[in-house]
Structure 1
Amino acid sequence: MSRSIVAERYATGLFKAAQEQGVLLAVHTDVRELQAALNDNNDFEQLMSLPQLSLIKKRELIGNILPGAQQLLVNALYVMLDADRMDEINNVLEDFHQLANNASGVAEATVYAIRPLTEQEETAISSAFAHKVGMQSLQIKTIIEPQLIGGIRLQIGNRIFDSSISNKLAKLERTLIG
């Protein structure tokens, strides 16, 4: 979760409302799409911070940018806009994403490997490690790191599982050197 209490409150409110209305998966999908769009382009945040634009124009922008989004998400953004909290949008979306993942038993994991993983390898890693962090599955993002030589390094939250050859060689070197 973010360190912003404000973002945490907005995210929790959106999460509870989505759960109560039975649209958690749909809102979560829209949140991920909005996160990706905001990561690719920060013009939206700049527009929302312009004092020259009226609240009405900013509301129109939100409606135009998210035409097919769940109304619950759009309404949450309107509430944030009215409260002058749009500077917290990234934190709110990230906190909501974490809440939704936790509720569905999914953890995000980063796999460092020497090559892209196949779908079968991702599935095997997910089933082997998800239970170690108390989750049902892992949502895996792969980062290519040729310096690992072989094997993988897996990071789930603040836990790291390292079975790379470079790590094993480093351990061997420390053992031999003393």
Structure 2
Amino acid sequence: MIKQTLINNWASAICELAKEENKVESFTQTLEDLKKVFETNQEAVEFLSNKFIPLEKRINFIDNIFKKEIDQLVLNSLKLIVEREYFSSVNYIFEAAIKKLWESLEIKKGIIYSTIEIDKKTISTIEEKIHKKICQKIKLENKIDSSLIAGIRIEVANNVFDYSLKGKVEDMKNMILENRK
């Protein structure tokens, strides 16, 4: 992995490019999609990071897969990351860029922990309800946490909303210990 300062520099450059072109929302969505693609296809990251494979072959690989699918500026950013030999850190760069883009849109990122995968419609409904509680736009990412037993736990903007069975049991335990004193 490259140094955090380089990751932040790449993320800032991508973010500034999105702002200059008035494409913040589309860049955010594209980077989120690309991040998922590269998280699930580690072989592609290894291929694009391999210095022993000629640069031209790696650039052609990016063109063949993404040219018709993503914005030309994002495509060029991908090529530049490959060219500068930083592709092994592409997901860290994208994560930092997404965070900066959300900040520019005044959206707070949060995590919704659950025992099973939650569909996008339900997540949108939960985002709306939490938005009304904390008066901030939010974007929730679903992560699986089997220790919850049942229910959900949401962490966003320094707030925790625990609607899980584990949280309820913990609350009852604390109440019993309080009453013992």
TM-score w.r.t. structure 1 length?
Answer: 0.79
What's the secondary structure of 1:51's corresponding residue?
coil
Deviation, 1:114, is: 6.8
* Bigger shift: residues 127-136 or 153-162: 127-136
Q: Which residue of 1 aligns with 2:101?
A: 100
2:6 counterpart of 1:6: yes
CA deviation vs aligned residue, 1:66-108 (integer Å, no higher than 9, x gap) = 1221111111122222222112211111011111222223223
What's the secondary structure of 1:141's corresponding residue?
strand
Deviation, 1:24, is: 1.9
Deviation, 1:41, is: 1.3
Distance of aligned partners of 1:14 and 1:136 in 2 relative to their CA distance in 1, 3 Å threshold: same
What's the secondary structure of 2:155's corresponding residue?
strand
Q: Which residue of 2 aligns with 1:166?
A: 169
Deviation, 1:120, is: 8.2
Q: Which residue of 2 aligns with 1:53?
A: 53
Distance of aligned partners of 1:139 and 1:165 in 2 relative to their CA distance in 1, 3 Å threshold: same
Deviation, 1:172, is: 1.4
What's the secondary structure of 2:53's corresponding residue?
coil
TM-score w.r.t. structure 2 length?
Answer: 0.78
Q: Trace 1:35-114 onto structure 2 (pairs within 5 A).
A: 35-67=35-67, 68-112=69-113
User: When the two structures are aligned, how many residues end up with a matched partner?
Assistant: 176
Distance of aligned partners of 1:135 and 1:149 in 2 relative to their CA distance in 1, 3 Å threshold: same
Q: Trace 1:129-168 onto structure 2 (pairs within 5 A).
A: 129-130=130-131, 135-141=136-142, 143=144, 147=148, 152-156=152-156, 159-163=159-163, 164-168=167-171
Counterpart of 2:71, as a letter, is: Q
Q: Which 5+ residue runs of structure 1 have no aligned equivalent?
A: none
Contact 1:148 1:165 in 2 (8 A): no
Counterpart of 1:56, as a letter, is: E
Counterpart of 2:131, as a letter, is: A
Contact 1:113 1:146 in 2 (8 A): no
Contact 2:115 2:146 in 1 (8 A): yes
What's the secondary structure of 2:161's corresponding residue?
strand
Counterpart of 2:34, as a letter, is: L
Counterpart of 2:84, as a letter, is: A
* Bigger shift: residues 13-22 or 128-137: 128-137
* Bigger shift: residues 133-142 or 73-82: 133-142
